Chain A
Amino acid sequence: MTQDTNDILLTVDGLKAYYQMNYFGVEREVRAVDDITMTLRKNEVYGIAGESSSGKTSFIKVLAAAIRPPLRVVEGSVKYNFKNGPIDVTTASPEQIETVRWKHLSYIMQGSMSVLNPVRRIGKTFQDFAQRPLGLSGKAFEDRVVKHLARLNLPPDVLKAYPHELSGGMRQRVTIGLATVCHPEFIIADEPTTALDVVVQKEVLSLIRDIQKEMGASVVFVTHDMSVHANVADRVGIIYAGRLVEEGPTRQMFFTPKHPYTAHLVASLPRIGDTQQRPALDGRPPNLADPPQGCRFHPRCPLAIDKCRKEVPPMIEVAPGQRSACWRWEDVKPLVNIAAPTGAMA
């Protein structure tokens, strides 16, 4: 798999990040991220899918350099290749990370309701976040912000308002604007559409897609909603119990999944006119403080064999650009017949 290395923006290598807690004499180690390796190219939208408590939130916390106790990086590295130079956020000093924040690496957080300071006007918040990275001030700064907001269909007097005076949709657009005003090279979007109704969801998704194309930024899009991945992601990575179990181009993954978990996730999408019965997965995601031996999916996997219980399957390339970590990847079949692509899955 030879690639032009200048094309690669992010390299995650063997990352292990655990929550280590010691309270009242009881020690607990939650293995939230347990050996993940992946790369991200420039100008690419990479979707991360997984259930709740699969470790995906912890993974992006590490990507965003938001590593705070009790979360600790135990092994591995996260290397970015930004315009101002390479940086490994697991080892870099806080000052080095400061030069990267917001200018090259930004974050769209879940829940537009609570990410804005309730006692601060929007304009001031923009100043707090973006003035330093942009290096502008006064009128020049304001002009830049207003121009950027216009692109998101927000009027300039939004800057004078307080968060509670705006509608939910406007707040979400403000948050997106906040994250993109410095034209970062890499944006992490953490469940930006969860808890939004479908109409607003569509609006937000198209906004993010437009801005991404315009700025040529790479986006890591985290959501458990597979339909969103189908809509925006170029490649998708499936995380289960702290491990990456499959990764590949979106259409390929949906049509020919090579991991039983992916097959189930894809099959969960309802489609109009489709009356096939869908099998549900037994059991629940494992406790990350005490994960199962071998392949972590084996207790729930319909294809599990003895080997799966004992040995951890390696991540291997099973098709061009598609990797899977399953001993029986060849036997994985799509669970539901996905018809020929319609307009929705362009």
Chain B
Amino acid sequence: MHGYLWFVGKRALQLLAVIFFGVSATFLVTHLSPISPVESALGRMTARSVSNPEAIVAMRAALTELYGVDEPIWSQYINFWTRLARGDFGPSLLAFPTPAMTLVMRALPWTVTLLTLATLITFAVGNIMGGLAGYNQNNRFLKAFGLVAIGIQPIPYYVVAFIMLILFGFVWPVLPISGGFAMNVTPGWNWPYISSVIQHATLPALSLVLVGFGGWFLGMRALVSNVVTEDYVTYAELAGVKRSTIVGAYVMRNALLPQLTALAMALGTVFSGTVITEQVFNYPGLGSLLIDAVNAGDYSLVLAVATVSVTAVAVSIFIVDLLYPILDPRVRAE
């Protein structure tokens, strides 16, 4: 147990470092712009309607204070972090004066649930199928499955989501292709709402699973093919250990360890993929929020989404890392 706590502590430090650098990086990026956010926000606002000059001056002053662009950069940086600690990104322009953070927090659960569900299904299905394919090299069904995986795996998330949209939106409209839940349902713990949510989540989840499982399948198949040549597997086969025990406890269990590391590495990409897929299906998660924010020139909101994304991914990697010693007794000893 002592060893495990030490491990957790180390990883937690790393997590904090990642968040620190990642978020600082987003800060730096936003301050790269040759365009002042104040001017572009003002420009967008005045483009829609005619405002009197005093209002514009007042707006400019307010925005400048909000964005803090008149101070030296290190001061802005410190301000940024203090406000971040409070979770304050300022008001969003999309839904003025709702704070950007509120919008993000409203969208975050949708993304997180979709992401978790899709990842769990993808990881489980991909690895199990891949493991079986690696062990039974001559099974025709699994070989065909492998070909399908090879076919879909390289296609980017957006394209697959798009194809799903066309298939299920125009060609065979059985599943809803937009939104998080139906319009005529009241949110809450009631069955119509929950079933509606599930229905609306199906296509995005399906699209994510299709893109994702190929990678796990191929990876696991290769890993299992190598593990099968290990001495302990050969020995167990020589001894006539039950086939299902060999496949489960000897082969898969050992092959799963590198896959877990791979999962931690892949979470950043999976997150991006989720965000992209949401946009296609108008799913009310961070993805749609981000796109809308960009199109509306909402500086605060874009920054909020980016920061929260970096943090969310870093935390999920941390959680996955914590699982590793539980599965590998050799690491526990360190």
* Mask of B236-265 contacts with A, CB within 8 angstroms, 1/0: 111111100100011001100100000000
Residues in B with CB closer than 8 Å to A164 are: 329-330, 333
Q: How far is the CB of A73 from chain B (nearest CB, A)?
A: 17
Select the residue from B238, B241, B327, B328 with max chain A CB neighbours within 10 A.
Answer: B238
Q: Which of A99-151 contact B (CB under 8 A)?
A: 101-102, 106-107, 109, 111, 114-120, 124, 128-129, 132-133
Question: Are A128 and B241 in touch, CB under 8 angstroms?
Answer: yes
Given A101-B238, A128-B242, A129-B239, are A119 and B231 neighbors across the interface (CB < 8 Å)?
no
Q: How far is the CB of A63 from chain B (nearest CB, A)?
A: 11
A38 contacts chain B at the CB level, 8 A cutoff: no
Residues in A with CB closer than 8 Å to B230 are: 114
A165 contacts chain B at the CB level, 8 A cutoff: yes
Given A111-B231, A114-B232, A116-B232, are A132 and B329 neighbors across the interface (CB < 8 Å)?
no
Given A118-B254, A119-B253, are A162 and B329 neighbors across the interface (CB < 8 Å)?
yes
A64 contacts chain B at the CB level, 8 A cutoff: yes
Question: Are A128 and B249 in touch, CB under 8 angstroms?
Answer: yes
Question: Are A118 and B329 in touch, CB under 8 angstroms?
Answer: yes
A7 contacts chain B at the CB level, 8 A cutoff: no
Question: Are A66 and B238 in touch, CB under 8 angstroms?
Answer: yes
Question: Are B241 and A109 in touch, CB under 8 angstroms?
Answer: no
Q: How far is the CB of B281 from chain A (nearest CB, A)?
A: 40
A-B contact count (CB 8 A): 68
Residues in A with CB closer than 8 Å to B232 are: 114-118
Question: Are B238 and A117 in touch, CB under 8 angstroms?
Answer: no
Question: Are A119 and B235 in touch, CB under 8 angstroms?
Answer: no
B79 contacts chain A at the CB level, 8 A cutoff: no
* Mask of B314-327 contacts with A, CB within 8 angstroms, 1/0: 00000000000001
B36 contacts chain A at the CB level, 8 A cutoff: no
A210 contacts chain B at the CB level, 8 A cutoff: no
Residues in A with CB closer than 8 Å to B139 are: none
B234 contacts chain A at the CB level, 8 A cutoff: yes
Task: Name the one of A64, A97, A120 contacting B249, with C-beta atoms under 8 angstroms.
Answer: A120
Of the A-B pairs whose beta carbons lie under 8 Å apart in the complex, a sample of 18, sorted by A's number, is A66-B238, A102-B239, A102-B240, A107-B238, A107-B239, A109-B234, A116-B232, A117-B249, A117-B250, A117-B254, A119-B328, A119-B330, A120-B250, A129-B236, A129-B239, A132-B242, A164-B329, A164-B330
Chain A residues within 8 Å of B, Cβ to Cβ: 64, 66, 97-98, 101-102, 106-107, 109, 111, 114-120, 124, 128-129, 132-133, 162, 164-165, 178
- Besides A107-B235, A111-B231, A128-B239, 18 other A-B contacts (C-beta < 8 A): A66-B238, A107-B239, A109-B231, A114-B230, A115-B232, A118-B329, A119-B253, A119-B254, A119-B257, A119-B328, A120-B250, A120-B253, A128-B236, A128-B242, A129-B236, A162-B329, A164-B333, A178-B239
What are the nearest 8 A-B pairs in CB distance? A101-B240, A114-B231, A115-B235, A128-B241, A162-B329, A117-B232, A129-B239, A102-B239
